């Protein structure tokens, strides 16, 4: 397992689990300040459990697309520097704001990840990672549109949802098309299906094409 700095395996209820150090958010077990990170509720957690190399530096600057109510982005903020959390739906953002109260490096943005121009004045350039977990058609286009924020040696960490692209097609065919589109702006370094944690999801680690 390739653990990112700030992520450890800790014992909870007699078994080893991923953990980050921070305030609890969704009722997860906490021991000595370390909170269990459930890969069934987090695509990034599942990527780490599957042994993927995220390629992140210590305390990375992160743009997180599709932050929802803050389950995964709270863990990411636990080991990161400035973390910009983009979420389109107002209801989850209210929860996200609450999560940010305990994390001064977490900045919630009520914005649409498909319209990066609406938050370009807020998010710094040359972030170390764009983490994408959006349930929309055109997920590759979202990644390409947000490439402008990513440092030349940064990483795209994307969880591609086949059913959000087309519920009628075979997920493998959907993933192939998304990867072809991504290749227009990214070099794909690694891919991994996220079963058994998340059905019909493909995790992608990529870097910008220069």
- In sequence order, what are the residues at sequence separation of 6 or more whose Cβ sits closer than 8 angstroms to the Cβ of residue 110? 87, 88, 90, 93
Task: State yes or no: 20 annotated in a binding site.
Answer: no
Distance CA 207, CA 55 (A): 10
Is 77 within any annotated ligand binding site? no
Cis before residue 146, ω within 30 degrees of 0? no
Residues 6 or more apart whose Cβ sits within 8 Å of residue 150:
63, 126, 127, 129, 130, 156, 208
12 is in an annotated binding site: no
Binding residue per annotation — 135? yes
Residue 113 in marked binding region: yes
Q: Is 112 annotated as a binding residue?
A: yes
The answer to whether 158 is annotated as binding is no
13 is in an annotated binding site: no
- Any binding-site annotation on 118? no
Is 79 part of any known ligand binding site? no
Sign of the alpha-carbon torsion through 90, 92, 97, 103 = negative
Binding residues: 71-72, 87-88, 112-113, 133-136
Binding residues for S-adenosyl-L-methionine: 71-72, 87-88, 112-113, 133-136
């Amino acid at each position: 397992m390739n653990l990112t700095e700030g992520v450890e395996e800790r014992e909870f209820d007699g078994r080893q689990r991923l953990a980050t150090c921070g305030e609890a958010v969704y009722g997860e077990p906490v021991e000595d300040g370390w909170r269990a990170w459930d890969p069934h509720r987090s695509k990034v957690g599942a990527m780490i459990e599957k042994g993927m190399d995220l390629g992140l530096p210590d305390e990375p600057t992160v743009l997180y697309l599709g932050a929802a109510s803050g389950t995964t982005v709270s863990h990411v903020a636990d080991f990161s520097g400035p973390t910009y959390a983009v979420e389109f739906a107002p209801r989850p953002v209210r929860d996200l704001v609450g999560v940010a109260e305990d994390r001064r490096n977490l900045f919630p943005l009520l914005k649409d990840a498909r319209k990066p121009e609406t938050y370009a004045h807020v998010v710094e350039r040359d972030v170390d990672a764009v983490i994408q977990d959006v349930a929309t058609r055109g997920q590759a286009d979202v990644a390409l549109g947000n490439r402008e924020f990513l440092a030349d040696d940064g990483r795209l960490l994307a969880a591609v949802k086949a059913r959000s692209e087309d519920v009628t097609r075979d997920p493998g065919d959907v993933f192939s098309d998304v990867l072809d589109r991504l290749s227009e702006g990214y070099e794909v370094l690694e891919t991994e299906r996220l079963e058994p944690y998340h059905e019909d999801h493909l995790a992608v680690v990529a870097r910008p094409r220069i």
